[in-house]
Amino acid sequence: MPDSSTPLQKWMALSKRAAGFLLVILFYIFYFTFFLPAAVIFRAVSDPLRRAPGPSGRSFFVARRRQVETRESASHPF
């Protein structure tokens, strides 16, 4: 059975596949040239969880007193 699609339809199908492939390649290039270096620099410079000691050289550890867990306190945690 001969294929009833025209050369234009075949060309459009091929171009859609090629566009999808090129889009993936462009996304990889964009990610590894812009986002990855920016994330590495941001990660090296910032401390979002404030894990480093403060200006006085002390840590941010907060000592909490121990609480006895009862059935009543467990049923109403807040």
Domain residue spans of the chain: 7-75
- Identify the burial level of 25 via C-beta atoms within 10 angstroms of its C-beta, where 0-12 means exposed, 13-18 middle and 19 or more buried: exposed
Q: Which of 73, 44, 49, 74 is nearest to 60 (CA)?
A: 49
pTM (2 decimals)? 0.47
Per-residue pLDDT tens digits of the chain, which is 78 residues long: 456 689 999 999 999 999 999 999 999 999 999 999 999 999 888 877 767 766 676 777 778 888 888 888 888 877
